[in-house]
Amino acid sequence: MDETSFDLSKELERAIHILIDKIESGIASDAEVLILPKLLEIKLGFCGGALWIRDKEQT
């Protein structure tokens, strides 16, 4: 892994924690509040190194 590579799972976890902290502090924007469930869905979609994203419109 070179220095420009990153672990998407770790970055998602970091973003989720930042958003939760902002929401709990009352400083999150409406957009940040709305994106949190999607980020959690993507994070939960990681399975065995593969990313499975379910598009709700297709189900």
pLDDT for residue 28: 93
**pLDDT per residue of the chain (59 residues) written in tens, 0 to 9:** 455 556 777 888 899 999 999 999 999 999 999 999 888 887 777 644 444 444 444 44
| Helix residue ranges per DSSP H, 4-47 | 8-25, 30-44
Q: Read off the DSSP letter of residue 57.
A: G
Using alpha carbons, select from 22, 17, 4 the residue that is nearest to residue 43: 17
